[in-house]
Structure formats: C-alpha cells, structure tokens
Amino acid sequence: MVIERSAFAPGVAGRASSGRSRNAGHGPHGGGGGSPPVAEQPLCAGGPPVSVRPPNRPRRRASSPAPGRSRTARRSPAGAFPANKAPTSEWEELAGSDRLAARRAAARIGRLGDPRARRPLERALASRDVALRVASAAALARLGRPASRPALEAALADDDWRVRAQAAYALSRVPDRRSTERLAARLTRDDSALVRNAAALALGRIADPRATPALERALDDRSDRVRREAILALERCREPSAAEKVRRFLADPARRVRIAATLVLGLRRDSGGVAELLGLLGRSDSWERPAVLVALGRIGTPECGTALAATADDPVRWVRVCALHGLAEMRSPLTPAVARGHLADPAWAVRGAAALALGRTGAPADVPHLVPALRDRNAWVRRAAVYGLGELAERRVRPRLRPALRDPDPEVRLAAIWALGRLGDEPSVPRLVRMLRHASPRPSRSGPTILEGEGAVRLVSDAEGRLFDALVEALAALARGRARSMVRAALVSAHRGLSESDLERTARLPAPLGSGEGARTRRDLFRSAGVGGAPRRSRPRPTSRGGRSAPTASARNPRRRSRR
C-alpha cells in the first residue's frame, strides 16, 4: 500500500477499483482530467483517472456477443483478437459509411488493444468526421504504439481543438523527443487551454530539456491548469533552477497551482523556500496543508520538524497523517514522543501513520507499544505495525509476526513477508515457499485499488501485483540459512517459469513510506540468491593431433568401462 500525495484530483472515499470502466474519462478532456495511475506517477497529475466502481453496484451479467463478434475474441488475453481470426466486423465498421458505427468501432478497438488496429485507426484519423478523428486519436492513445507517432504529430495541426488535444495526450503515452518541437509550438501558440494543458503534460513525460523555454513561458499562462502542468513538467525535465522559478507560485490565486509549486519545492528539498512554506501552512486550508507538510518533511530542517510536531494535533485526520509521515521521513528527534501519543487515535489512518513513524525512529524499548497494534481491527493499522516492527529490527518479535502471513488482507501479508525476510526468520521458510508456488509473476490488469482518499492524500493498494517480487526478495535473504536447499529449489523452480521479459521487469518491492532501494530487476533478485546466473561453460574435450576428439579414459580401458 502506498500513499499518493496528489492534490490535483480529490481521492475517492470508500471506493474500490475493478479494472477499466466504460465511463472513465480518457484524454485531456474526458472524466475531468484526473491524476494518472499511481504505479506510473505518484506525484504528478494529468492523464486518465483511475477507474473506480462503488462496491454496492451490481455487476453486469455477461451478455451474448454481438453479431459478427466471437466470444473468444472478448475473452482472449489483454483483449487481443485470436491470431487466426481478424476482427473483420470492427474494422469494416471503422471504414464504413455509418459514422456512428465507425465511432463505436474505434472505441471498441481501442479498448481491446490489438496492435494490428494501428493502421486502420491512423487512416480513420484523416477522416472528415470530427468525432471519428477524436475517437481514433483516443484509441491510438490506448494502444500506445510508438509507430503511431507521425500520424499523431500530423493531427496536432487539425482544425478542431478536440482532435489536437487528444493527439497531444496520445503523444504523452508514447513519449519521444522527436515530438518536442511540435508539442512546444502547441503549448505556446494554441488557442485552446485544453490543448496547451495536454501539450504540457506530454512535454513533462518526454522530459526533454529543449522544452524548458516553452514551459517557462507557460508559467504565465492564463489557465491555472496549464500553469500547474508547466510547473510539474519543469520538475520532470530536471531544470536546475526550477525551485527558484516556482517559489512565486506559492501565492498564486489557484489552489492547484500552489499545491504543484509546493510539491516541486519538496521534491527539490529546497531549504530556501521554507519561510514561504511555513507562511502557506498558516493560511492554507485542509486541502493544501497535507501537501505543505509533505514538502516540509522532505526538506527536513529543524524549523520544519517543529512545525510538523505542532500540526500533528490538527483536527483534520489527513493533516495529522501527513504530519506524522513528514516527521518519520525527516527522522526528527521529536517523532517518537509524538507518535506514541497517536497510537490510540480514533482515526485508523492516524494510528497507522503513528506506528510507521515510531518503527522508523523509535528504539527497541518501543516494541511493547507496537505489538498491540498487530491485533487492530483495521488492516491498515496492522500493516503499519508489521512494517514498524520490521524497521526496529528486533529479532525477538519474529514469533509475533509469523501469524501475519495468514492475515486475510493482502497488504498485511505483504508487510509480513518483507519484515520476516529482513529479520531472517528461518521457521517461516516453508510457508513462504508455498506462497511463492501460488503467486503470479505477472501483475494484475485490474489496476490499483483506492481504499480511501481526501484532500491531497490517497491510500492505494496494489499488493497482489507485488507479492511475487516480495517473496523472491525475502527468500533470497534467507538463502544462506539452514533451509538453503529448500529455498534454492523454490527459487530455481520460480526462475524456470519466467520469460526473458519477465526477468527484465523492474521488481516492485514493498517498502514502508516508499523508502525502498534503487530500481532492481527480477534477474537481480534471483542472482542475489545465486539463481539464474551465467550458464556454466562445458569443459572442452581434448583433441588429438589429427583434429578428432581424443578417446575418453573408459574407451581406452575396457576393464574400467565394464566396472562402470
């Protein structure tokens, strides 16, 4: 579970994600232009929102397929069509004379994600029907194929602003530095604010330093959305003077712009903007204070610690959560005392943040304070207590952590895997091996689950997609103990079931407060346990003078061969 500090799209309270939604917006003007999926950009905004479905809404019954569409095509992996059967009905409708059917076909093809549909969609992008061009650009954005870049760049000069905006957003899905000049021209010259907003988003994802002049001019744009995206894009372009240029936006009249500037100052750890941030903390509301507290925690000066400790008693619970996380991140000496006082807070999110903060900054004497949280009714608090005890690195708590491997919540199990692997608990090896046999090495397509959100904080769960990597990491840490033969056999079996693309995938490892190590591939995890290294070179057979292979010892000595 991670905490997303994105204040540009309010979180969704009590809703859970169930994959892609038919009503979820896609593009710069669909669905309100929410924040991107958390696994991609936890601190930036823009792009399609995470699709959510209220848990009380009944699921739709599977209906029979439409004429001309096979049930196999709908159920095939990733929505792709079978290799032996082309999607003739959708492609015929896309090229037909019925405009409404062509628009619907473009939307269906984009949802199915078949890469063979790229060329038909590019041809539809040159249609006379504006709505069809918009739908085709949206479908190309869903496909995300780099080969569609020239057609999308040509669509940036379309007469209709909706096509230009959707094309700019599609280019953000296939970032290429060759698109920088055309997107920069759209950012500075286009009349539509939505087109400029999508262009700034695309330039931020491309992260080309050549776009810096255009982004600096966009800082004075009349649209607050464009100013926000320009601020975030400057940070992603690694502009050295980005912090100095965005300090003045802490007094911007638009809240989203002030929060974007706050996040950039926190990411840059700009100590020169502490005075402005403290002033903003005193006059901001409950929507801005979380972002300010996060930035102060990253900067970590003594005055930041004092302000965070004073804000930990705020009446708004998410403000208290961010204050505790800021204290834990900067490892302030004030953190343990503040965290102990919030372990009994009525809000479960505050109790979880206090357990994480105490585990990261506390001492072995704080173990009795964290053990009761393992029996909390809320899974978030139990998870935080497991992480906190793992951070304390006290081996005497290992028997208390083993039952967490059977917790009904996947986030608690993920934290227990991390903690027991960190503490070197050998009695848990059989259980970890059984879990590895049933874990899927490929992440789920359903996307992250929004547990709860308010203001600038969202709690997002993606435990199922990280379970395999966490088990491999924990077993690799236990591969040098007495159960090394069992661990090695399990890791070798798991390694054989992975393809080369699976091994090169970046490992998604659990870490409290997002404080993990650098990017590591799955191949690195297996190699740390001595599995999947370079293949052994076979010893060359000796050759005789004539170039033929020399006879072996058994061939030279028949009596020795008979004994074998």
Three-class SS of residue 220? coil
Could you give phi then psi for residue 549, rounded to 5 degrees?
A: -65, 135
Q: How many domains does the chain have?
A: 1
The 8-class DSSP code of residue 453 comes to E
> Measured between alpha carbons, how far is 364 from 548 in angstroms, rounded to an integer?
70
Asked if residue 507 lies in contact with residue 473, where contact means CB atoms within 8 angstroms, the answer is yes
Residue 285, token pair as written in the block: 């509301």
- The boundaries of the domain holding residue 351 are 269-393
The answer as to whether 509 is a domain residue is no
Q: For residue 273, what are the CA distances in angstroms to 113, 267, 283, 301, 335?
A: 45, 12, 16, 11, 23
What span, in angstroms and rounded, lies between the C-alpha atoms of 418 and 482?
19
In a domain, 387, yes or no: yes
Which 3 state secondary structure label does DSSP give 41?
coil
Residue 327 domain-assigned (yes or no): yes
Instruction: State both tokens at 84.
Output: 């032996």
Number of helical (H) and strand (E) elements in the chain, helices listed first? 30, 3
Q: How far apart are CA 321 and CA 293, in angstroms?
A: 10
In a domain, 464, yes or no: no
CA dist 436 → 57, 431, 440, 463, 468 (Å): 34, 9, 8, 14, 7
Residue 483 lies in a domain: no
Domain assignment present for residue 506? The answer is no
337 in a domain, yes or no?
Answer: yes
The residues that bridge with 543 in the sheet, in sequence order, are 549
Q: Backbone phi, then psi, for 449, in 5-degree steps? A: -110, 125
Per-residue pLDDT of the chain (564 residues; tens, 9 = 90+): 444 443 333 333 333 333 333 334 444 444 444 333 333 333 333 333 333 334 444 444 444 444 444 433 333 333 334 444 444 566 666 666 667 777 777 777 777 777 777 888 888 888 888 888 888 888 888 888 888 899 999 999 999 999 999 999 999 988 889 999 999 999 999 999 999 999 999 999 999 999 999 999 999 999 999 999 999 999 998 888 888 889 999 999 999 999 999 999 999 999 888 999 999 998 888 889 999 999 999 999 999 999 999 999 999 999 999 999 999 999 889 999 999 999 999 999 999 999 999 999 989 999 999 999 999 999 999 999 999 999 998 889 999 999 999 999 989 999 999 999 999 999 999 999 999 998 888 765 444 454 444 444 445 567 777 889 899 999 998 888 788 889 999 999 999 888 888 888 888 887 765 544 556 888 888 988 888 764 434 344 444 444 444 444 444 454 544 444
CATH number of 278's domain: 1.25.10.10
| DSSP bridge pairs for 354 | none
Would you say residue 342 lies in a domain? yes
Q: Say whether pTM exceeds 0.95.
A: no
